[in-house]
C-alpha cells in the first residue's frame, strides 16, 4: 500500500466471539498507522464491546435487527430508505481502506457501499469477493484468531501488537465490584455453558459434577454466566447447588468481560464469552464439541475429541446423543485446570 491510509474501517458485524478475537486488529492498526482514524462497523448487539475503545475513532452501528422489524411493520421500501441513508453516511466518512473481516455478502456490501478505493476481504465468499479490490485467504493455523492476525501481518503490523481488548471503564469496574461484594465473592471460577447450537452444549449433569469437583480440588465457588435468554436454564442448572451461583442476564457484555478478568479460572464451551478468558490471559479450559474454532491459545487448555463425525456444524448425524460432548467428563476438565495451575 503506497499511501498511508487516513481513514480505516474495520467491518466485523458479529458474533461476540469473533469480535473479541478480531479486536486485536485495533491496536495493530493504530500502531501501524498512528495518524489514521480507525472506525468499526458492528451490529447493535455487540457494539457495547467496542463503544468508547481508546484506539477507535468511531463505532458505527448497523441496526440489522431494527431493519428486520421495520420491514415487517412498514415494508421493504422503508428499509431501503434506511439502507440508503447508511450508504450515504459511510461515503461521507471518506474511508480509504476498508477491511471486511467477516467475508460474507452481508458485510461485503457495506465495504463496497463505502466507496473506499482499497477494500480487502478476508476469505470473502457468497459473491462478496467481487466487491473487494483484493481478497486474502483465511489462515488455517490452529492458534486463536489466526485469520485476523495474518491479516494484520499482511498490512505490515507487528506480531506483538496483536492484543485482544474490549472496552473497560471505571463504571464497569465499580458495577462488578458491587456485584461481587453483594454475593460475598472474592475468588471464584467462571462457567460459560450457553451458546446457540445444541451440538456445542455440554450436559447439565456434567456441569454440576464439575462444580463439585472444583469445590473439592480448588475450594472455589462457580459463577454461571450467560445472556438474558439463558436465565431460566441457568437457574435450573444452579438449583439446590450451593457451590453454583447464576448471574446469567445480570451483566452487560463489558461487565461480563470485567467479571471474567477477576476469576481464577474460566471453563466454557464454544461461545463468545469463553474467548474473553483467553483475552484476559486467564487460565481457561475450552470444551469444544462438534467444531473447534482453534486448538491453541496462551494459558488455555482445549478439550476436543475430534470424532469421526466432526465437524457436523449445523447438521448433526448422531441423533442428538452428542457423544463428542457426552464423552468429555468433569475429571478431564479438572485435570486440565490442574495443568494450568501447575504451569502458572
79-104: per-residue pLDDT in tens?
A: 999 999 999 999 999 999 999 999 99
CA distance 224 to 268: 10
**Average pLDDT for residues 253-262, to the nearest whole number?**
97
CA distance 53 to 72: 34
**Average pLDDT for residues 18-26, to the nearest whole number?**
97
The helix/strand/coil state of 96 is: coil
**Average pLDDT for residues 270-298, to the nearest whole number?**
95
**Average pLDDT for residues 222-246, to the nearest whole number?**
95
Higher pLDDT, 340 or 196: 340
Scored b (16 or more CB within 10 A) or e, 121-151 reads bbbbeeebbebbeebbebbeeeebbbbbbbb
pLDDT value for 191: 98
pLDDT value for 2: 53
Strand ranges across the sheet with 134-136: 58-62, 37-43, 7-11, 97-100, 118-122, 134-136
Contacts 24+ apart (CB under 8 A), 68-71: none
Beta bridge partners of 130: none
Q: Please classify residue 29 by burial: count the beta carbons closer than 10 Å to its beta carbon, then call 0-12 exposed, 13-18 middle and 19+ buried.
A: buried
CA distance 192 to 304: 16
Beta bridge partners of 245: 223
186-208: per-residue pLDDT in tens?
A: 999 999 999 988 889 999 999 99
Three cell numbers at 125?
465468499
Distances (CA, A) of 185 to 78, 181, 230, 336, 338: 50, 6, 22, 24, 22
Domains along the chain with CATH numbers: 7-161 (3.40.50.2000), 170-343 (3.40.50.2000)
Contacts 24+ apart (CB under 8 A), 67-71: none
CA distance 10 to 95: 10
105-133: per-residue pLDDT in tens?
A: 999 999 999 999 999 999 999 999 999 99
Three cell numbers at 140?
488455517
Length of the chain: 344
Residue 204: closest CA among 249, 235, 174? 235
Higher pLDDT, 317 or 173: 173
Distance, CA of 121 to chain centre:
19
Q: Which H/E stretch holds residue 135?
A: strand 134-136
Distances (CA, A) of 319 to 197, 209, 322: 14, 25, 8
Amino acid at each position: 500500500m503506497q499511501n498511508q491510509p487516513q481513514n480505516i474501517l474495520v467491518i466485523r458485524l458479529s458474533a461476540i466471539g469473533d469480535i473479541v478475537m478480531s479486536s486485536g486488529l485495533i491496536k495493530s492498526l493504530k500502531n501501524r498507522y498512528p495518524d489514521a482514524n480507525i472506525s468499526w462497523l458492528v451490529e447493535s448487539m455487540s457494539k457495547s464491546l467496542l463503544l468508547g475503545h481508546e484506539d477507535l475513532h468511531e463505532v458505527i452501528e448497523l441496526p440489522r435487527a431494527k431493519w428486520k422489524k421495520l420491514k415487517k411493520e412498514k415494508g421493504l421500501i422503508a428499509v431501503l430508505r434506511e439502507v440508503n441513508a447508511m450508504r450515504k453516511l459511510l461515503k461521507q466518512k471518506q474511508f480509504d481502506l476498508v477491511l471486511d473481516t467477516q467475508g460474507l455478502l452481508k458485510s461485503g456490501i457495506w465495504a463496497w457501499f463505502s466507496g473506499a478505493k482499497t477494500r480487502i476481504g478476508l476469505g470473502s465468499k457468497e459473491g462478496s469477493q467481487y466487491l473487494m479490490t483484493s481478497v486474502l485467504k483465511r489462515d488455517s493455523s490452529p492458534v486463536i484468531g489466526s485469520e485476523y492476525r495474518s491479516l494484520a501481518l499482511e498490512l505490515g503490523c507487528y506480531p506483538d501488537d496483536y492484543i485482544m481488548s474490549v472496552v473497560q471503564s471505571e463504571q464497569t469496574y465499580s458495577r462488578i465490584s458491587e456485584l461481587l461484594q453483594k454475593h460475598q465473592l472474592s475468588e471464584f471460577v467462571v462457567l460459560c455453558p450457553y451458546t446457540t447450537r445444541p451440538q456445542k452444549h455440554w450436559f447439565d449433569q456434567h456441569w454440576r459434577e464439575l462444580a463439585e469437583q472444583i469445590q473439592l480440588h480448588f475450594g472455589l465457588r462457580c459463577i454461571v454466566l450467560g445472556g438474558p435468554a439463558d436465565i431460566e436454564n441457568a437457574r435450573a442448572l444452579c438449583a439446590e447447588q450451593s457451590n453454583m451461583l447464576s448471574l446469567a442476564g445480570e451483566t452487560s457484555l463489558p461487565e461480563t468481560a470485567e467479571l471474567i478478568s477477576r476469576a481464577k479460572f474460566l471453563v466454557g464451551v464454544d461461545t463468545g464469552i469463553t474467548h474473553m478468558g483467553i483475552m484476559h490471559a486467564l487460565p481457561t479450559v475450552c470444551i469444544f464439541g462438534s467444531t473447534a474454532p482453534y486448538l491453541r491459545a496462551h494459558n488455555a487448555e482445549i478439550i476436543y475429541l475430534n470424532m469421526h463425525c466432526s465437524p457436523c456444524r449445523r447438521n448433526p448425524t448422531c441423533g442428538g446423543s452428542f457423544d463428542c460432548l457426552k464423552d468429555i467428563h468433569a475429571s478431564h476438565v479438572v485435570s486440565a485446570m490442574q495443568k494450568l495451575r501447575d504451569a502458572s
